[in-house]
Structures are given as structure tokens and as C-alpha cells.
């Protein structure tokens, strides 16, 4: 028995069947109808694919809720209209890059054509390039905006569309809402100017590659150490993505001459044939790299996601086994290394700062406090960190920053997370440790002994489709209506609600406002619970995936290296207790 579509979904289906869409698209829709596949029809048409504050992300396919020629076209037409209105009478330009995913080159060319048809000059990378290089290109070329076609580390069936502004950061207020309004005004496929003007499109590659590599090299704080440890044994995999274009080149430019590429994953391929998901946050995605690292007794293993803005890394622990470091650990190590290096070089003047997100480890806050460096906390998303950098430009000096989801930034010449520069600094700090007869893991333990052992875990629940989105919203509503009174035996003393922008003192019952309009802070569907003993739990629906994420953070002192295993076990057990108590499964 075939279930009828609801009226709004049926209207969208009819619009596509009767409108000025290509024959193949209409045939695909008709096939879904004829086969009675109402579930797929509903998911494809129950809404228009939302152009969010960062752009688009969705499953490839036909339909208003899918990534295809028409949804990408409407987004680009709306963005073109906004750019032209924002810079009236000016010669405006945009830069475009794309990753290795299916349809990424086609969508990049499509966007270039539409921009050019709207009188906008286009700088289009001739082949796949990392997202951070797109951010760099916007600033290098003086563009008003930019675009990268990528779905980051999502599964192969996804693609996406990320928009940047003239500072090289992803769009933030007021431009994000302004662009969304213009995109939403494009209600007919006939409004999209598909016919490109080739004279307005310039292909770019080495003209950006070379200066970008030089700027990454300039991040090095101990070049003499790199010279002494040039033979550092490094394994690297791009997981079939864009990292292959620049990570090996940058490591070579720095002087590392013993880099081993995982050949099975070296060729860009949007099907990601060797992994279930091209996400370096997942151990399975790095398994081939770990196998190679074990076989050649490597010092360091690194993996970048498809658009090379995130990096996963691992090293041998104190038992001689390869252990992958999570995003909080690596972000902390990078900041720990940079703070020490800046202090040793006499560069800490009181005008320096670090930036991170509110769900990233508070260990970074603690270290910054110890060094007299300001640590700014923003909402989740590197666009907010970029906003802080822009607001403080010329006033304070950015050292580095990061977020728990494996994204880090060193220096301010890029305004998004940068796995290319991160691979370079991770290799350098590993070389620095080895130069002192230590491992990367030894450095991690030293950091914990100095500042406390912070341990974090992420629980990510996938809820697909319309029903999943409704379930996620209900979970957040339930937490707001019935917040926990205690977590793992410790009373909840504070509740931060970033949707309402309120901070509740749970003991006194008084509520104060979280200041909106501060750098990197605005209304967002995030809840945080803080306990008396320093445990923190954050709940946040993903803005780019059909997921709700729970971030759990606990801490204890670390007395010695010898106490590491026991303390680690205690922290892991406590995290599991939190997960069980709050039913985060």
C-alpha cells in the first residue's frame, strides 16, 4: 500500500515535474513515483534544502532537499545577488575551490558560471584544493567572497557548499542572514543565470600554492629543531582527499625528509573506497596509516579529511603502542607548545590571545591563564573564531586556536581551521619532543601533570530524515524542561542555555543574561551543565549533519607519569557513568 505525500511535499514534486528542469531529473522523480517509493520522495522534497549560516550540505540527488544542479544554482544566484548589492558599483570577485567528492568539480564550475553571468569575476582553482587554501586565496587576491564545494568528512553520498566573506572567514552576522534572505528569494529555476561568461573566469593554482606554502613555513617556531630531526619518521594519509596536494609539499619545504604516504589512500576519490567514512576522528579511517606506522616504527601518524581542514594524529604511548590523540588532546598540545615557544622567545607581552569553542576542553583556558594569555570562547564553528581574529586585528596578536572536532589554526593568514598548517606544527612539536629524548605522548603527560588531567568524550547520535529531526528537537526540549540536578554524584551548579542566552545559578536559582553580540556569541541551540567537581556536559544538535552531539568533560590531578594509567581509567569510568546516568545513547 502506497502512502500519500503530504500537501506541501506534493506541491514541490509537482513544481519540479512541471518546471524548467532537465529531462533526466524529471525521469528520476517519475521513477520514484512509479515505484511507490514515498519514503525517498518525502525525504527528497519535504522541504527546501536549507541554506544555513554556513551554506548548504545534503545528500546528492534530485529534489528540493538534495544537493544538485538546481539547489546549488539557486544558492549561487542568491549569493550573487547579495554580493552585488553589498558592493554596488565595485569590481567584485570571488574565489572557488572544491574537494574530491562526487560532483564537486561540476558544482564548482556551475557556481563559476553563475557568478560570471552575474557580472562577478571568478578565480577558480584548476583542480581540487584544501579548504584552508581557499580562505587564504580570498585574502591573497582581495576577493569579496569565496566558496568551497565540500561536505568535509561526511559519508560519500553527501556534498556541500561553504560560503566565505572578504576576511577569509565563513560568513557571520549580518552577512549570513542577508545571504539566506537572498537565497530564499530565488523561488524559480528560471531566475538562475546558468550561462557562464568564460572571460570572467580565471583559473588559479601555483599563484596561490606557492605563497600559501611560504606562509605555513613561517609558522615554524623551532626551525633548528627540525633540522636536527629532519629524519623524523612520519606516516601521512589524505584519505582520498585534497591533503595530498599540499601536506607532503609543506612537510618537505620545512625539511622533513622521511615522510611515508599511505599509497592505498593517496589518490583522490569521492567514493572513499578504503573507508566507511573519511573522518579522521574515527579510528577505522586511520587504520591503514596505523598499520604502516607500526610496520616502519614511525614516530608520528597523521590523516586529513577530504577537504583538509581537520587532522587526526597518533604516536606511541608509554607502553610502546600507537595511540590516537583526540581533538581536545591535540588542540591542547598545539597550544601548550606554542605558549611555551612564545614565552621562551620573549614574545608574550600581554596582548596575545588564543581562541576556542565552548565545547572544547577547558584545559586550554587553564594553560592560557597560567601564561597570562587571554582565551576567548566562542560558539561551535570556526567562523566564530575567525570573527574574534577579525575583531581584534591590530589590537591583539593571535597565537592559535582550535576546536575539539580536530580543527586547529596557527597564525592568522588563514581564517578557518587548517589541517595543512596543523600537520606542519604537529610534526614540529613531535620533532621538538624527540630532540629532548621524549615522545609526543611524553609531552602530553607533562602537560597534564602541570595543568591537570582533562578527559573528554563525544557521544554523537544520528537521527536521519524528518522524524529524526523532530526527535532531536524533542531531546533538547526535554533537557530544558527537566535539567539534571546532579551528574555522576556531583551537584549541577550552573546551566548555560545559549538559545535563550541565559546562565542559571542552580544553587541560588538566579538567572543572568549571556551577553549576545560579544565576539563569537549569539543565540544557538546549545545547553551546558556544570557540576561542583568540574564535570561539564554540553548538548548540541549538529548544524551540518542529522546528529545530536553530547560533549562530556571530566578532570582530575595527575600526580606522575606512573599514575597516568590509573587516573585515565578513573576518568574514563566517570565519563561512562555520566553517559549512563543521562541516557546519552
Q: What is the pLDDT of residues 158-203, one digit of tens each?
A: 999 999 999 999 998 899 999 999 999 999 999 999 999 999 999 9
pLDDT above 60: residue 504: yes
Percent of the chain whose predicted confidence (pLDDT) is above 90: 89
pLDDT above 50: residue 1: no
Residue pointed to by grid coordinates 591533503: 243
pLDDT digits (tens, 9 = 90+) for 107-160: 999 999 999 999 999 999 999 999 999 999 999 999 999 999 999 988 899 999
The mean pLDDT value for 330-347 works out to: 96
All 3 cell numbers of residue 149?
Answer: 564545494
pLDDT at 147 (0 to 100): 97
| Helix or strand run (H / E) with residue 16 | helix 7-18
The mean pLDDT value for 233-244 works out to: 98
Would you put residue 116 in left (φ > 0), alpha (ψ -120 to 50) or beta? Answer: alpha
Count of residues making up the chain: 585
d(CA 575, CA 395): 40
Task: Look at the alpha carbons of 226, 230, 235, 236 in this order and tell me if their dihedral is positive or negative.
Answer: positive
Instruction: Give me the DSSP letters along 111-163.
Output: HHHHHHHTT-EEEEESS---HHHHHHHHHHHT-SEEEEE--TTS-TTEEEEEE
Catalytic residues: 152
pLDDT at 109 (0 to 100): 98
Residue pointed to by grid coordinates 527546501: 48
* Burial status of residue 294 (CB atoms within 10 A of its CB: 0-12, 13-18, 19 or more): middle
Question: Under DSSP, is residue 374 helix (H, G, I), strand (E, B) or coil?
Answer: strand
What domains are defined for the chain? 1-43 (no CATH), 47-204 (3.40.120.10), 212-451 (3.40.120.10), 454-581 (3.30.310)
pLDDT digits (tens, 9 = 90+) for 250-309: 999 999 999 999 999 999 999 999 999 999 999 999 999 999 999 999 999 999 999 999
Residue pointed to by grid coordinates 577537504: 307
pLDDT digits (tens, 9 = 90+) for 384-437: 999 999 999 999 999 999 999 999 999 999 999 999 999 999 999 999 999 999
Q: Determine the Cα angle at 482 with ends 477 and 483, to 5°.
A: 100
Percent of the chain whose predicted confidence (pLDDT) is above 70: 99
pLDDT band at 485 (very low <50, low <70, confident <90, very high): very high
The mean pLDDT value for 47-66 works out to: 91
pLDDT above 60: residue 2: no
pLDDT band at 4 (very low <50, low <70, confident <90, very high): confident
pLDDT digits (tens, 9 = 90+) for 206-220: 999 999 999 999 999
Mean pLDDT of the chain: 95
pLDDT above 80: residue 557: yes
d(CA 344, CA 450): 17
pLDDT at 542 (0 to 100): 83
pLDDT at 546 (0 to 100): 82
pTM: 0.93
d(CA 233, CA 252): 13
- Count CB neighbours of 194 within 10 A: 14
pLDDT band at 544 (very low <50, low <70, confident <90, very high): low
All 3 cell numbers of residue 241?
Answer: 582527499
The mean pLDDT value for 532-556 works out to: 90
d(CA 326, CA 339): 20
Would you put residue 517 in left (φ > 0), alpha (ψ -120 to 50) or beta? Answer: left
pLDDT at 520 (0 to 100): 77
pLDDT digits (tens, 9 = 90+) for 92-112: 999 999 999 999 999 999 999
Nearest Cα residue to 161 out of 147, 173, 175: 147
Amino acid at each position: 500500500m502506497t502512502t500519500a505525500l503530504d500537501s506541501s511535499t506534493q506541491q514541490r514534486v509537482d513544481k519540479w515535474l512541471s518546471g524548467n528542469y532537465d529531462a533526466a531529473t524529471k525521469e528520476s522523480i517519475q521513477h520514484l513515483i512509479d515505484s511507490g517509493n514515498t519514503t525517498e520522495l518525502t525525504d527528497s522534497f519535504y522541504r527546501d534544502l536549507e541554506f544555513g549560516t554556513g551554506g548548504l550540505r545534503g545528500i546528492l540527488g534530485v529534489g528540493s532537499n538534495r544537493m544538485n544542479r538546481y539547489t546549488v544554482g539557486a544558492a549561487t544566484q542568491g549569493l550573487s545577488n547579495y554580493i552585488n548589492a553589498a558592493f554596488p558599483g565595485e569590481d567584485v570577485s570571488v574565489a572557488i575551490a572544491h574537494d574530491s567528492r562526487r560532483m564537486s568539480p561540476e558544482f564548482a564550475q556551475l557556481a563559476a558560471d553563475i557568478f560570471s553571468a552575474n557580472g562577478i569575476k571568478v578565480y577558480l582553482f584548476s583542480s581540487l584544493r584544501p579548504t584552508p587554501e581557499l580562505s587564504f586565496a580570498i585574502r591573497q587576491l582581495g576577493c569579496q567572497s569565496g566558496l568551497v564545494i565540500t561536505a568535509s568528512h561526511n559519508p560519500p553520498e553527501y556534498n556541500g557548499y561553504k560560503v566565505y566573506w572578504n576576511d577569509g572567514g565563513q560568513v557571520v552576522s549580518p552577512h549570513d542572514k542577508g545571504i539566506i534572505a537572498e537565497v530564499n528569494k530565488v523561488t524559480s529555476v528560471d531566475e538562475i543565470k546558468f550561462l557562464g561568461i568564460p572571460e570572467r573566469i580565471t583559473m588559479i593554482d601555483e599563484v596561490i600554492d606557492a605563497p600559501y606554502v611560504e606562509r605555513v613555513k613561517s609558522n615554524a617556531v623551532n626551525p633548528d629543531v627540525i633540522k636536527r630531526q629532519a629524519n623524523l619518521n612520519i606516516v601521512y594519509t589524505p584519505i582520498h582527499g585534497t591533503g595530498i596536494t599540499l601536506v607532503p609539499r609543506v612537510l618537505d619545504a620545512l625539511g622533513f625528509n622521511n615522510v611515508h604516504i599511505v599509497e592505498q589512500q593517496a589518490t583522490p576519490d569521492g567514493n572513499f573506497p578504503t573507508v566507511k567514512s573519511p573522518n579522521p576522528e574515527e579510528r577505522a579511517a586511520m587504520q591503514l596509516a596505523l598499520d604502516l606506522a607500526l610496520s616502519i616504527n614511525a614516530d608520528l601518524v597523521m590523516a586529513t579529511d577530504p577537504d583538509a581542514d581537520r587532522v587526526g594524529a597518533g604516536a606511541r604511548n608509554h607502553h610502546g603502542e600507537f595511540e590516537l590523540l583526540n581533538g581536545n588532546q591535540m588542540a591542547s598540545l598545539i597550544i601548550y607548545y606554542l605558549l611555551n615557544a612564545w614565552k621562551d622567545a620573549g614574545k608574550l607581552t600581554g596582548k596575545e590571545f588564543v581562541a576556542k569553542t565552548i565545547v572544547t576542553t577547558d584545559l586550554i583556558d587553564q594553560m592560557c591563564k597560567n601564561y597570562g594569555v587571554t582565551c576567548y570562547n566562542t560558539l561551535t564553528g570556526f567562523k566564530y573564531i575567525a570573527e574574534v581574529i577579525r575583531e581584534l586585528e591590530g589590537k591583539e596578536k593571535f597565537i592559535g586556536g582550535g576546536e575539539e572536532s580536530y580543527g586547529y589554526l596557527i597564525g592568522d593568514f588563514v581564517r578557518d581551521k587548517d589541517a595543512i598548517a596543523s600537520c606542519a606544527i604537529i610534526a614540529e612539536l613531535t620533532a621538538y619532543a624527540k630532540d629532548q629524548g621524549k615522545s609526543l605522548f611524553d609531552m602530553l603527560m607533562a602537560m597534564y601533570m602541570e595543568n591537570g588531567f582533562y578527559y573528554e568524550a563525544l557521544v554523537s547520535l544520528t537521527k536521519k530524515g524528518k522524524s529524526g529531526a523532530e526527535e532531536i528537537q524533542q531531546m533538547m526540549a526535554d533537557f530544558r524542561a527537566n535539567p539534571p540536578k546532579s551528574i555522576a554524584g556531583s551537584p549541577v551548579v550552573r546551566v548555560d542555555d545559549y538559545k535563550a542566552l541565559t546562565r542559571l545559578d542552580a544553587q541560588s536559582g538566579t538567572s543572568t543574561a549571556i551577553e549576545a553580540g560579544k565576539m563569537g556569541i549569539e543565540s544557538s541551540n546549545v545547553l551546558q551543565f556544570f557540576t561542583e567537581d568540574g564535570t561539564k556536559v554540553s548538548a548540541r544538535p549538529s548544524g551540518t549533519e542529522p546528529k545530536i552531539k553530547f560533549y562530556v568533560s571530566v578532570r582530575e590531578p595527575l600526580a606522575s607519569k606512573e599514575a597516568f594509567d590509573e587516573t585515565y581509567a578513573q576518568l574514563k569510568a566517570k565519563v561512562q557513568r555520566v553517559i549512563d546516568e543521562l541516557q546519552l545513547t
